[in-house]
Amino acid sequence: MIGGTTRRTVLALAVMLAVLSTGSCAFATGDSDGDGLLDSWELQFFGDLGQETDGDFDGDGFTNLEEFEAGTDPTDSMSKPIPPLNGNLH
Ligand SMILES: [Ca+2]
Ligand SMILES: [Ca+2]
């Protein structure tokens, strides 16, 4: 048996190797899990990389990808993209 700390270190190394072996493209874009959401953005709002682009964490009707592209807060249902102008607003 190996200890918890050693096991975590081995796991971290394995993850690093996996990331490196999947190509530098993901590194260049800062999207190591390749889901279209920047790692820094996912970490900022969710603290991990577990969110999906089509998820709606805050239930405001806009997907995480839409909130990412609009620069709104995906964890705040009061912060959402401004809908595009359409004929109803004339
Ligand atoms: Ca949302
Ligand atoms: Ca939101």
The domains of the chain are located at: 28-78
Q: Which two tokens stand for residue 88?
A: 């109803």
Cα–Cα distance measured from residue 67 to residue 74, given in angstroms and rounded to the nearest whole number:
6
| Per-residue pLDDT tens over the stretch 14-31 | 777 776 665 544 455 799
Phi-psi region of 41 (alpha: psi -120 to 50; beta: other; left: phi over 0): alpha
Taking residues 42-46, what's their average pLDDT?
96
Compute the distance from residue 26 Cα to the ligand 1 centre, in Å. 24
- Give the global pTM: 0.61
CA of 90 to the centre of ligand 1 (A): 27
Task: Say how far apart CA 69 and CA 8 lie, in whole Å.
Answer: 34
Q: What is the pLDDT of residue 26?
A: 47
What's the CA-to-centroid distance between 24 and ligand 1, angstroms? 30
DSSP string across 27-46: HHHT-TT-SSS-HHHHHHHH
